[in-house]
Amino acid sequence: MSQSTSTQAADAPIISLHNVSKWYGQFQVLCAVDLDVRKGERVVVCGPSGSGKSTLIRCINRLEVHQEGRIFVKGLEMTDNVKNIDAIRRNIGMVFQNFNLFPHLTVLENLTLGPMLTRHMKKADAEDLAMHFLRKVRIPEQARKYPLQLSGGQQQRVAIARSLCMEPEIMLFDEPTSALDPEMIKEVLDTMIELAESGMTMIVVTHEMGFARTVADNVVFMADGRMVESAPPEEFFGNPREERTRTFLDQILKH
Amino acid sequence: MTTASSQTRLVTAAYDPLARMSAADWLKRNLFSSVWQTLLTLVTAAVLLRFFWFVLDWGVINAVWVTSDPDVCRAATGACWAVIVEKHRPMLFGLYPYDEHWRLVLMMVIYLVTVVVSLMPRNWNLRFLVPLWLVAAVSIGVLMFGGVLGLRYVPTSEWGGLPLTMLLFTGTVLFGMPVAVLLALGRRAPLPVARGVSVVFIEALRGVPLITILFVAVNVFPLFLPAGVQVDKLLRITIGIAIFFACYQAEVIRGGLQAIPRGQYEAAASLSLTYWQTTSRIILPQALRICLPAITNHIIAAMKNTSFVIIIGLFDILTATTAVMQDPLWRKFYVEAYLFVAAVYLFFGYALSLYARKVEKWIASGRI
Amino acid sequence: MIDATPARDGQPSARRSKDLLYSEGFRAAAYQIALAAAVVFVGLFLYQNVVENLQRQNIATGFGFLREVSQFEIGETLINYSARDTYARALLVGLLNTLSVSAAGIVLATIIGFSVGIARVSNNWLLQRIATGYVEIVRNVPVILQVIFWAAVTRNLPAPRQALELWGLGFLSNRGLTFATPVADPAHGWMFLALVAGIALAGIGDRWARRHREATGKHVDMLWPSLAVVIGLPLVVWLAFGAPHLISFPERKGFSFVGGYTISPEFVALMTGISLYASGFIAEIVRAGIEATPKGQVEAARSIALRPRFIMRYVVLPQALRVIVPPLTSQYVSLIKNSSIAVVVGYPDLVNIGNTVMNQTGQAVEAIAVMMTVYLIISVVTSLLMNTYNRLVAIKER
């Protein structure tokens, strides 16, 4: 395959979706979605619930399997080839709505598990790495605690640090603040903003329009499994082209 | 944080009706809340007192504690505990050669020490436990079999009593738990063939009585082996009980596996852990913690189930006692003898469930 | 788990053979084929060994032995049987004995279990503690030890001459339990049919009342009509047959009894042992069932002024039964399976007779297969019934 030779032009997309479709039984959740994300780009995906935005990013690291179309990450195609799946997943960190921390492991163990098992790091090195990222997300003092002893915001920051410990080039965020109490949303968004400033490639599914406005290079609006509109934030918020986008923005920004 | 929690405690204490209840209140609420309840309490108390008086009268006051003459017991109106004193060696050690009983005592000490040490969380470290169990297994093997170090050789057909019960039980759990885990994983596997094999195996074995499986172990299993290959009867029976145990335990563990949210699998996949890494590091540790109470129940049941070997003629503690009770001089005192055996089972069962409750507390407090 | 999810449709990319080795779908298929092959291989290997071993030891195969004459007597039979009958009939005798001791055990275990279970949640502290103590002891002493204990007790009961008299209705002796029975009369069969018909009628009446209530809003109390029809119908039949009221009371005569009906000491010991053991588990099931109905539900029912009987009928019972019935049935099944320890007291149940057949014919594989099949059928039928029940309950929920 020509794509596996990953000598690419500097501005070639690091993630590229062509014509991706997916069905749950009869119900089509993704309809021929196209999306290109370049290195260092920050994309925010928004849309009403059930619009397929979560499914879309979950297809990128194959937590869901797409049925039509092609997905490339760093020139590797996501097929059912286990080698490709492994290589792509190592390059992608994922943060979930419900954190999905491992409750039976301490924060530190949550962070070192991946590096030790899949990157074969020594325990001491993995712990150094973990402490480095815990300091980044500003909770190094919680390292010995168990996830359920932390607040929701702290747990989500641990989850971000856990993904970062795999030193990925791309981070996917699946509604990272939706399960949080309002007063904890900011601490997580701040962490994400810092991450964006460090040049990380990010795809973020979120309803936080403030975050989209300040951080995104590109805002994508999805509805009914289709990509309705994709534009830089000034344009997206200032002058949306599509009627559906306008209705959605009206609803979400009015309160 | 500390002030907050101590405040909460104060508040709950103040409003906890039980904590402030006086003895009179308690009695009124739990024993004499109405005429009907009072009547019930009085009748029950009367029956209970009579029963206790009988136990005291029969079991203590008029009991014979030590005698080697059954006629002394016959003359007494109370219990004949002397039968246990007199017959404790054949009851506890079965057919094992009489002069070698000290080996069994030593074996039980080694066994119990090993088990107790292994149950303490601070010793949960494979680099310690594996050598410990190896040493224990070798020394128990040497003691039981003999044939080396000037010890007389004793074949497994002469093993018996409580040590045999312990060995059967330990073998069942040590061999059965891994099989149970594999069967449970098989039943939840993404591969239909693995699921099918596990389901048929589990359901078929759960559908038949343990005895039929023991019959298979004794009568049919030898037929499965190529000519010339033989497996010791004790080992075959242990495997039989263990597989039976594993099928029940597999269903328990499957329940635990089902309780693990999908997100745990997804998080593991996004860290690109393999199936076995996910299973052993993420899923199983949580699933086993969740279903620990049910697991303990089946472990205790496994201990009780070792008594089924009486049917195929292994001399565990129950078989040995039943054999002793054939002695015409002493067989009148079967109640005392069986009470003793029941007490042994109750003791170990109670110890296991106490320990399990402790483990649950450790889990709840995040200690393990 | 997710790793191994095979792709639904064909992946769009073209594959080379090297890629195939890394394909999830291919790997899944390969693992399955390997596993299936291993199962088949092991199966064939074992089968081959069995065939060879049987040939070498000159043991017959097949179920032809079932038609041979058994040449052994059985102490207790519910159907005509003698040593000249076939092995098949001997096994049938055993199966009927298994079923009869299990049926008696289930009734006894249910009565004791429900009583103790209700005592377990009693407001009365003393009663509750006693019930708890009972449950802990009977559940934690091996069932086989309990059966052996009761066998020793029945063996050591006095001889018929000094038999314990049970309120004039029967005797307890080392010959077993002898009790008074009505003299057999054709009326009894019809009365049984009438009872079944009565229960069916009561069920139909209940449904009609419910529909009537739903359609018109008027409540028709079916409790008394139901009781009347269930008890009344057999009573009418009894009267129609001229009220046969002869009862055969047992009497001591020589070294035995005449009259009444005697169940053997083995039966008594086995039944007592397995049902006391099961009663502990049933008590816990009942307790859990009662506790499963939250207090709030009863309070809610009271707040809409439902009468206590309706609270029981429409609020507590349906919820408690949904929790109680499935584990209760599996307790019944395990009681039936526990009856297979009959051999330790010498009661001729299926396994005991199967064991004799196995020793006489040497055909262990077939004899064990017969026993296992019978128990498997009992288990499978029960779990099918249970699934149906659960479905019915689930539909009512909507």
- A130-170, pLDDT tens digit by residue? 999 999 999 999 999 999 999 999 999 999 999 999 999 99
Q: What is the pLDDT along chain C (398 residues), one digit of tens a residue?
A: 344 444 444 444 444 566 777 888 888 889 889 999 999 999 999 988 888 888 888 887 788 888 888 888 888 888 888 878 889 989 999 999 999 999 999 999 999 999 999 888 887 888 889 999 999 999 999 999 999 999 988 888 877 777 777 776 778 887 888 787 777 777 778 888 888 888 888 888 888 887 887 787 777 777 777 888 888 888 888 888 777 777 777 777 767 777 777 888 899 999 999 999 999 999 999 988 888 777 777 777 777 777 766 776 677 777 788 888 888 988 999 999 999 999 999 899 999 999 999 888 888 888 999 999 999 999 889 888 888 887 777 655 43
Contact status of B196 with chain A (Cβ, < 8 Å): no
User: Is B2 inside a domain boundary?
Assistant: no
C-beta pairs of A189-196 under 8 Å, 24+ apart in sequence: A191/A136, A191/A137, A191/A138, A191/A157, A191/A160, A192/A160, A194/A136, A195/A160, A195/A164, A195/A171, A196/A42
Contact residues for A214 (Cβ-Cβ < 8 A; gap 6+): A193
Distance from C-alpha of C150 to C-alpha of C163, rounded to nearest angstrom? 17
Which DSSP state fits A63? S
Across the strands, what pairs with B103?
Answer: none
Distance from C-alpha of C118 to C-alpha of C128, rounded to nearest angstrom? 9
Name the helix (H) or strand (E) containing B315. Answer: strand B315-316
Contact residues for A205 (Cβ-Cβ < 8 A; gap 6+): A44, A45, A46, A53, A54, A56, A57, A173, A174, A175
User: Is B47 inside a domain boundary?
Assistant: yes
- For the record, the structure tokens of B308 come out as 């089924």
Which DSSP state fits A142? G
Contact A191, A158 (CB under 8 A): no
Contact residues for B247 (Cβ-Cβ < 8 A; gap 6+): B180, B183, B201, B202, B205, B206
Angle, CA of B191, B276 and A55, to the nearest 5°: 65
β-strand pairing of B315-316 with C164-166: unpaired
Residues of B in contact with C1 (CB under 8 A): 188, 190, 265, 275, 278
Sole residue written with tokens 């029945």: C154
Contact residues for A136 (Cβ-Cβ < 8 A; gap 6+): A161, A164, A191, A194
- Which of B247, B251, B252, B281 is CA-nearest to residue B264? B281
- pTM value is 0.85
Nearest beta carbon to residue A102 from set B264, B272, B289: B264
pLDDT at A9 over 60: no
User: Is B16 inside a domain boundary?
Assistant: no
Report the number of distinct structural domains present in chain B.
Answer: 3
Distance from C-alpha of C258 to C-alpha of C170, rounded to nearest angstrom? 11
User: Is B247 inside a domain boundary?
Assistant: yes
- For the record, the structure tokens of A49 come out as 């619930």
CB contact under 8 A, B275 and C1: yes
Report chain B's terminal Cα–Cα distance, integer Å: 24
CB contact under 8 A, A113 and B271: yes
Q: Per-residue confidence at A56, pLDDT binned at 50, 70, 90?
A: very high
User: Partners for A (CB, 8 Å, 3+ pairs)?
Assistant: B, C
Q: Are residues B182 and B272 in the same domain?
A: yes
Contact status of B40 with chain C (Cβ, < 8 Å): yes
Instruction: Give the residue on A whose Cα is nearest the Cα of C16.
Output: A1
Q: At what angle do helices C87-120 and C125-140 cross, to 10 degrees?
A: 150
Contact C83, C72 (CB under 8 A): yes
Q: Are residues B162 and B115 in the same domain?
A: no
Quote the strand ranges of chain A, DSSP E: 13-24, 27-38, 42-46, 68-73, 76-77, 92-95, 170-174, 201-205, 218-223, 226-231
Which DSSP state fits A103? T
Contact status of B220 with chain C (Cβ, < 8 Å): yes
Q: What is the mean pLDDT of residues A210-238?
A: 91
* Burial annotation C245-271 (CB, 10 A radius, 16+ → b, else e): eeeeebebeeeebeebebbbbbbbbbb
CB contact under 8 A, C141 and B33: no
- Which of B94, B96, B97, B73 is CA-nearest to residue B83? B73
Measured in angstroms, the CA of C323 and the nearest CA of chain B are apart by 17
CB contact under 8 A, B191 and C28: yes
β-strand pairing of C176-179 with C170-173: antiparallel
Contact C339, C102 (CB under 8 A): yes
Q: Are residues B187 and B308 in the same domain?
A: yes
Distance from C-alpha of A29 to C-alpha of A56, rounded to nearest angstrom? 9
Residues of C in contact with A80 (CB under 8 A): 6-7, 11, 23-25
Contact residues for B83 (Cβ-Cβ < 8 A; gap 6+): B70, B73, B330, B333, B336, B337
The CATH number that applies at residue B360 is 1.10.3720.10
User: Is B63 inside a domain boundary?
Assistant: no
- For the record, the structure tokens of A92 come out as 């992608």
Measured in angstroms, the CA of A21 and the nearest CA of chain B are apart by 21
Q: Which of B133, B153, B173 is the last residue of a domain?
A: B153
Q: Are residues B243 and B288 in the same domain?
A: yes
Distance from C-alpha of B215 to C-alpha of C341, rounded to nearest angstrom? 12
Residue A146, Cβ density class (10 Å: 0-12 exposed, 13-18 middle, ≥19 buried): middle
- Which of A168, A15, A165 is CA-nearest to residue A89? A168
CA distances from B195 to A120, B248, B261, B279 (A): 32, 16, 20, 16
Side chain identity at residue B104, one-letter code: L
Q: Are residues B149 and B188 in the same domain?
A: no
For residue B358, give its domain range: 158-365
Distance from C-alpha of A132 to C-alpha of A112, rounded to nearest angstrom? 11
CB contact under 8 A, C25 and A80: yes
Q: Are residues B265 and B289 in the same domain?
A: yes
Q: Are residues B179 and B131 in the same domain?
A: no
Secondary structure string (H, E, C) spanning chain C: CCCCCCCCCCCCCCCCHHHHHCEHHHHHHHHHHHHHHHHHHHHHHHHHHHHHHHHHCCCCCCCHHHHCECCCCCCCCCCCCCCCCEHHHHHHHHHHHHHHHHHHHHHHHHHHHHHHHHHHCCCCHHHHHHHHHHHHHHHHCCHHHHHHHHHHHHHCCCCHHHCEEECCCEEEECCEEEECEECCCHHHHHHHHHHHHHHHHHHHHHHHHHHHHHHHCCCCCCHHHHHHHHHHHHHHHHHHCCCCCCEECCEEECCEEECCEEECHHHHHHHHHHHHHHHHHHHHHHHHHHHHCCHHHHHHHHHCCCCHHHHHHHHHHHHHHHHHHHHHHHHHHHHHHHHHHHHHCCCCCHHHHHHHHHHHHCCHHHHHHHHHHHHHHHHHHHHHHHHHHHHHHHHHHC
Side chain identity at residue C151, one-letter code: A
Contact status of B271 with chain A (Cβ, < 8 Å): yes
User: Partners for B (CB, 8 Å, 3+ pairs)?
Assistant: A, C
Side chain identity at residue B160, one-letter code: G
Distance from C-alpha of A100 to C-alpha of B266, rounded to nearest angstrom? 8
Cα maximum dimension of chain C: 95
Sole residue written with tokens 């739903």: C214
Contact residues for B265 (Cβ-Cβ < 8 A; gap 6+): B278, B282, B283, C1, C2
Q: What is the mean pLDDT of residues A2-15?
A: 59
- Which of B69, B88, B64, B66 is CA-nearest to residue B321? B88
Residue A243 neighbours by CB distance under 10 Å:
9
Condensed to tens digits (0 to 9), the pLDDT of residues B156-214 reads 888 888 999 999 999 999 999 999 999 999 999 888 999 999 999 999 999 999 999 99
> Greater confidence, C232 or A9?
C232
Contact B136, B72 (CB under 8 A): no
User: Is B82 inside a domain boundary?
Assistant: no
Q: Are residues B143 and B244 in the same domain?
A: no
Q: Are residues B220 and B200 in the same domain?
A: yes
pLDDT at A7 over 50: no
User: Is B90 inside a domain boundary?
Assistant: no
Q: How many CA atoms lie within 13 A of C161 on its CB side?
A: 2
Measured in angstroms, the CA of C300 and the nearest CA of chain B are apart by 24
Contact residues for B129 (Cβ-Cβ < 8 A; gap 6+): B118, B123
Q: What is the pLDDT along chain B (368 residues), one digit of tens a residue?
A: 333 333 333 344 444 555 566 777 878 777 777 777 788 888 888 988 999 998 888 888 887 888 888 788 888 888 888 888 888 888 888 888 888 889 999 999 999 999 999 988 888 888 899 999 999 999 999 888 888 888 888 888 888 889 999 999 999 999 999 999 999 999 998 889 999 999 999 999 999 999 999 999 998 888 888 877 888 889 999 999 999 999 999 999 999 999 999 999 999 999 999 999 999 999 999 999 989 889 998 999 999 999 999 988 888 889 888 888 888 888 888 888 899 999 999 999 999 989 988 888 888 877 66
Q: At what angle do helices B334-364 and B292-305 cross, to 10 degrees?
A: 160
Residue C211, Cβ density class (10 Å: 0-12 exposed, 13-18 middle, ≥19 buried): exposed
Q: Are residues B147 and B164 in the same domain?
A: no
Across the strands, what pairs with A16?
Answer: A36, A72
Contact A15, A91 (CB under 8 A): no
CB contact under 8 A, C6 and A80: yes
Residue B33 neighbours by CB distance under 10 Å:
14
Name the CA dihedral angle for A199, A200, A206, A211, rounded to a multiple of 10 degrees.
-20
User: Partners for C (CB, 8 Å, 3+ pairs)?
Assistant: A, B
Contact status of A61 with chain B (Cβ, < 8 Å): yes
Instruction: Give the residue on A whose Cα is nearest the Cα of B265.
Output: A100
Quote ipTM for the complex: 0.90
Q: Are residues B120 and B244 in the same domain?
A: no
CB contact under 8 A, B270 and A90: no
Q: Are residues B296 and B247 in the same domain?
A: yes
User: Is B65 inside a domain boundary?
Assistant: no
